[in-house]
């Protein structure tokens, strides 16, 4: 199972937003063509465009998360590739692993965790509140299958 954050603005849309913002700033700037005031207005406008670019790009870089959950009859692994090169791994025997849905009290609503091997790890915290219960059901079904395969 592969999990990653949803991106409502694709890279092509990102370029379009910057282009539309640039064109929108050109309209009022056209009134100042040929005057010395143009430079006093152009510098902050270009700064705003750069900040828009910087923060949207930072959002993309911070959202580069991939969680891989792999389940075998004798082993379960969760690998999280996070932003800025972060890498975390967790593994346990699925027979001893339990999945939990914390509807309230977690850092987010419907918080999903896996508990096993003396550790509790989060799963899909970047998903929407509505998506996490479905993830919980899918992971619970996978664990039931793994436990049945290991027992039989």
Looking at the structure, tell me whether residues 74 and 55 fall in a common domain.
no
The side-by-side arrangement of strands in the sheet containing 76-81 is 2-3, 66-71, 76-81, 87-92
Looking at the structure, tell me whether residues 75 and 139 fall in a common domain.
yes
pTM above 0.85, yes or no: no
From 62, 84, 110, the end of a domain falls on 62
What pLDDT score was predicted for residue 47?
94
Distance spanning both ends of the chain, measured CA to CA? 23
pLDDT in tens, 100-141: 999 887 788 889 999 998 999 999 888 888 999 999 999 999
From 62, 87, 108, the end of a domain falls on 62
Looking at the structure, tell me whether residues 130 and 71 fall in a common domain.
yes
Range of the domain at 106: 66-151
Q: Point out the residues of the chain with pLDDT beneath 70.
A: 152
CA distance 56 to 14: 8
R_g over Cα of the chain: 23
Q: State the total domains in the chain.
A: 2
Looking at the structure, tell me whether residues 71 and 132 fall in a common domain.
yes
């Amino acid at each position: 199972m592969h999990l990653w954050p949803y991106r409502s603005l694709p890279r092509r849309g990102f370029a379009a937003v910057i282009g539309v913002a640039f064109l929108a700033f050109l309209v009022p700037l056209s009134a100042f063509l040929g005057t010395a005031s143009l430079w006093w207005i152009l510098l902050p406008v270009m700064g705003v465009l750069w900040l828009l670019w910087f923060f949207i790009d930072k959002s993309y870089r911070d959202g580069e998360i991939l969680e891989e959950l792999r389940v075998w009859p004798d082993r379960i692994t969760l690998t999280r590739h996070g932003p800025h090169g972060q890498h975390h791994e967790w593994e346990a025997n699925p027979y001893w692993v339990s999945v939990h849905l914390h509807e309230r009290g977690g850092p987010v609503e419907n918080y999903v965790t896996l508990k096993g091997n003396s550790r509790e790890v989060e799963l899909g915290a970047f998903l929407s509140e509505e998506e996490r219960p479905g993830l919980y059901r899918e992971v619970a079904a996978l664990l039931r299958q793994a436990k049945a395969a290991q027992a039989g």
